[in-house]
Amino acid sequence: MPSTTRPGPRPLLPLALLALGLIAVPVLGDGFLAYQVALFLIYGIATQGVALCWGRLGFLPLGQSLFFGLGAYLAGGALKAAEAQAAWTLALPLAVLLPALLAYVLARLVFARSQRSGPYFSLITLAASMLGFLVAQQWSSVTGGFNGLSGVPDLPGTERFSTLYWVVAAAALASTALLGALLRRPIGVLWHAIAQDEERLQLFGYATDRMKAAAFALAAALAALAGGLFAAHQGIVTPVAMGFVLATEFVIWAAVGGKLSPLGALLGAVVVGYASSELRDRIAFWEVLVALVFILVVRYLPEGLAGLVAARRARRATAAPAEGPRTPAPARRAPTPGLSLAFEDLSVAQNGVRILDGLSLDLQGPGIRAVIGPNGAGKTSSFNALTGRLPVRGGRLRLGGEDVTGWPTWRVAAQGVGRKMQVPTVFRELSVRDNLLIAVWAGRLSARDTLSLAPHQWTTPLQDELLARFPALLDQWGVPAGALSQGHRQALEFLMTVLPEPGLVLLDEPCAGLSSAETRHMADAIQAAVRRLGAAALLIEHDIDAVAALADEVFVLHQGRLLARGSLREVQADPQVRAVYAGGHK
* Measured distance CA(75)–CA(226) in Å, rounded: 10
Q: Which of 214, 244, 274 is where one domain is finished?
A: 244
User: Is residue 5 in some structural domain?
Assistant: no
3-state secondary structure 44-81: HHHHHHHHHHHHHHCCCCCCCHHHHHHHHHHHHHHHHH
pLDDT at 307 (0 to 100): 75
Closest CA to 204 of 363, 10, 427: 427
Looking at the structure, do residues 214 and 348 belong to the same domain, yes or no?
Answer: no
* Measured distance CA(209)–CA(305) in Å, rounded: 30
Local confidence band at 47 (pLDDT 50, 70, 90 cut-offs): very high
Distances (CA, A) of 411 to 198, 206, 405, 540: 14, 8, 11, 23
User: Is residue 421 in some structural domain?
Assistant: yes
Local confidence band at 247 (pLDDT 50, 70, 90 cut-offs): very high
pLDDT at 234 (0 to 100): 97
* Measured distance CA(173)–CA(262) in Å, rounded: 10
User: Is residue 129 in some structural domain?
Assistant: yes
For strand 504-508 and strand 417-420, is the pairing parallel, antiparallel, or unpaired? parallel
> pLDDT of 136-191, one tens digit each?
999 999 999 999 999 999 999 999 999 999 999 999 999 999 999 999 999 999 99
Looking at the structure, do residues 377 and 496 belong to the same domain, yes or no?
Answer: yes
Local confidence band at 38 (pLDDT 50, 70, 90 cut-offs): very high
**β-bridge partners, 344:** 396
pLDDT at 117 (0 to 100): 66
pLDDT at 586 (0 to 100): 55
Q: Which of 244, 275, 308 is where one domain is finished?
A: 244
Q: Do 55 and 47 contact (CB within 8 A), yes or no?
A: no
113 vs 506, higher pLDDT: 506
Q: How far is CA 133 from the centre of its chain?
A: 30
Indicate the SS3 state at residue 398.
strand
> How confident is the model over 566-575, as a mean pLDDT?
92
Local confidence band at 36 (pLDDT 50, 70, 90 cut-offs): very high
User: Is residue 470 in some structural domain?
Assistant: yes
Looking at the structure, do residues 66 and 197 belong to the same domain, yes or no?
Answer: yes
> How confident is the model over 64-74, as a mean pLDDT?
97
- Which range of residues forms the domain containing residue 464? 341-580
Domain count, the chain: 2
> How confident is the model over 327-351, as a mean pLDDT?
84
Looking at the structure, do residues 352 and 471 belong to the same domain, yes or no?
Answer: yes
Does residue 363 register a pLDDT over 80?
yes
Local confidence band at 311 (pLDDT 50, 70, 90 cut-offs): low
DSSP 8-state secondary structure symbol assigned to residue 424? -
Does residue 314 register a pLDDT over 70?
no
Does residue 105 register a pLDDT over 90?
yes
CATH number of the structural domain spanning residue 535: 3.40.50.300
3-state secondary structure 202-236: HCCCCCHHHHHHHHHHHHHHHHHHHHHHHHHHHCE
Local confidence band at 317 (pLDDT 50, 70, 90 cut-offs): very low
| CA dihedral of residues 438, 441, 446, 451 (deg, nearest 10) | -50
* Measured distance CA(487)–CA(510) in Å, rounded: 10
Looking at the structure, do residues 221 and 352 belong to the same domain, yes or no?
Answer: no
> pLDDT of 201-240, one tens digit each?
999 999 999 999 999 999 999 999 999 999 999 999 999 9
> How confident is the model over 396-400, as a mean pLDDT?
94
pLDDT at 296 (0 to 100): 84
> How confident is the model over 1-27, as a mean pLDDT?
75
Q: Which of 244, 272, 304 is where one domain is finished?
A: 244
Q: How far is CA 220 from the centre of its chain?
A: 17
User: Is residue 345 in some structural domain?
Assistant: yes
pLDDT at 513 (0 to 100): 87
Looking at the structure, do residues 85 and 222 belong to the same domain, yes or no?
Answer: yes
Does residue 9 register a pLDDT over 50?
no
Does residue 334 register a pLDDT over 70?
no
Strands (E), 95-224: 149-150
Q: What is the pTM of this model?
A: 0.91
User: Is residue 313 in some structural domain?
Assistant: no
Q: Do 235 and 161 contact (CB within 8 A), yes or no?
A: no
pLDDT at 11 (0 to 100): 66
302 vs 521, higher pLDDT: 521
Looking at the structure, do residues 368 and 238 belong to the same domain, yes or no?
Answer: no
Looking at the structure, do residues 217 and 346 belong to the same domain, yes or no?
Answer: no
* Average confidence score pLDDT of the chain: 90
Integer-rounded Cα radius of gyration of the chain:
28
Q: In angstroms, how far is the first alpha carbon of the chain from the final one?
A: 33
Sign of the CA dihedral with 560 first, then 564, 569, and 573 last: negative
pLDDT at 2 (0 to 100): 44
User: Is residue 443 in some structural domain?
Assistant: yes
User: Is residue 266 in some structural domain?
Assistant: no
* Measured distance CA(314)–CA(254) in Å, rounded: 21
pLDDT at 193 (0 to 100): 97
Closest CA to 70 of 122, 5, 143, 2: 143
* Measured distance CA(491)–CA(501) in Å, rounded: 16
DSSP per position, 442-503? TTT--TTGGG-SGGGGEE-HHHHHHHHH-HHHHHTTTSBGGGS-HHHHHHHHHHHHHTT--S
Does residue 20 register a pLDDT over 60?
yes
Does residue 313 register a pLDDT over 60?
no
Looking at the structure, do residues 490 and 369 belong to the same domain, yes or no?
Answer: yes
* Measured distance CA(441)–CA(420) in Å, rounded: 17
Looking at the structure, do residues 57 and 199 belong to the same domain, yes or no?
Answer: yes
Strands (E), 309-340: 327-328
Local confidence band at 337 (pLDDT 50, 70, 90 cut-offs): low
Looking at the structure, do residues 382 and 519 belong to the same domain, yes or no?
Answer: yes
> pLDDT of 440-487, one tens digit each?
999 999 999 999 999 999 999 999 999 999 999 999 999 999 999 999
Looking at the structure, do residues 229 and 376 belong to the same domain, yes or no?
Answer: no
